[in-house]
Structure 1
Amino acid sequence: MRISVVMPAKNEAEGLQRTLPALRAQLPDAEVIVVDDGSTDATAAVAAEHGARVLSAPYSMGNGAAIKRGARAAGGDILVFMDADGQHDPAHIQQLLRQIEAGFDMAVGARGAGGQANVGRGAANAVYNRLASWMTGHKVADLTSGFRAVRADKFREFLHLLPNGFSYPTTSTMAFFRSAYPVAYVPIPVAKRIGTGSHIRPLRDGVRFLLIIFKIATLYSPLKLFAPTAFCFGLLGLGYYAWTFSTQGRFTNMSALMLSAAVIVFLIGLVSEQITALTYRRHD
């Protein structure tokens, strides 16, 4: 199998100085692609100096956009995605590749509690993992890990779904589960990042991460989100009707509104389910 390693990088010259030599030592024959996402430091020069193929963007387009550019340009049968900031140890790539050889289409390096950036991020990721596990019916150990190996042809099926921002791991994972492509999780330790702080800002990206929760549901199986919501509206409508009928002897507008909302939400869920099915329809 030909292997291509894709590393999105924004101002990661210091991290690449350590990561690229270690990567070459582990995979001397692999194609290494560094996608320079509008860096203002020597990221591109350092990558080229260590023999990596550099794809430079004139301005920052986002982590997901860098992943998509790298995936399109890569020539390998297997794509390995990893961060350029030193958090991911290239020595663990072989563990991911062994899962691919065993028949999985995606292998994800799963961080433990100690591998989270902070307590808040760890709590948010725990919520994402639980929600994704419920939606898919499979144990999701780390929904947002950017360290993963995938079969290139399978991954490229979903490039049109991937956002340009930071939630590409979420989207790609749910897409693989939805399409019945097996996913494996490999526990890995994560080192402290090198260089500048995280590009994720809590205030700027907080709402974006909150929307990920709803995206997880609508991306995989909308009815699992809409049906319980419709049921709650219906239950409230019937309960309110029972109370007003027993106390006032009438059917109120509020009961009608909630029962109507239950029907509308359920129908929206049915339509969304059909749209989702068409989205994941494979075009050969």
Structure 2
Amino acid sequence: MRRMAMDDILTAAVVNFHPVSGEKERNLSRIEGFARAGARRGAELILFPELCLMGYDYYLDPEIPRAEKLDSAEHMGSPAAERLSALAREMGIYLICGAAERRGEALYNSAFLFGPEGKVETYQKIHPYGEENRFFQKGDTPVLIDTPWGPVGIGICYDSYQFPELMRYEVSRGARLYLNPTAEVEEIAYEGSRESFYRYYRRNLEYGAASNGIFIASANLTGWDRGSYFAGGSMILGPKLSPFAELDVHCYAGGAEDAQEGLALATLDLSLAARMLVRENPGGGMDYRPEVYKTFY
């Protein structure tokens, strides 16, 4: 039985997931298996990677007709979405899964957000990366997930690494936890590729956690797809009180060095999320000044 959630204490899990390209039923069954295993271990929120339901390269393959990609995409009430929604209700968890979303004739790189009460939301990636722009429309709306632990923010991959405005906005709206479903590759043909991945991936996440004073859960694909090698490294980072009474960034679960498929889980104390940018300063105001920033653009 799922324990009653506390305001500050959350058990979260992230999954290194290796999808079989184009094999939705097989991938869906394995997602269900990982989710059940995580819930049995006490996870209350489980995060899967970007486009994990069909595989990332499936949607970027120019040889696959657009009509086929549209037919394979999910929407509110699609059979796969209904199965995952039912699973979240059954297990009493929040389940987040990356999948292509169809809206009319438009295709989005989305995260489907399933709640324990049966609620389904989607977030459409605001900043598609590179070749994604040939196949996916740009989203335009930040999403905060309403949970017993307060609002939870989300961005997908490129959103999180190169556009800190999104994470910062969501923190300003109360988020203490930010979710990053991602599809980050390792260029293994080049010497030093693992170190390069580690520097880019972990350091960007560490910076986001440190500069905002929040927890970040990141779930990456792993293994070979059609033409890309995904590096795994799913992990949960966040503040931890140091002996010097300062908040350090700590890896609570997983790690950038871990490329094996599997689930990593941690129990987090979200009260440590200082959310520095929205704290009051000694003068009685906030350091964060969105009314000024909007004039920059």
> How high is the TM-score relative to the length of structure 2?
0.25
> How high is the TM-score relative to the length of structure 1?
0.26
Highest Rg: 1 or 2? 1
Structure number with higher strand proportion: 2
Structure number with higher helix proportion: 1
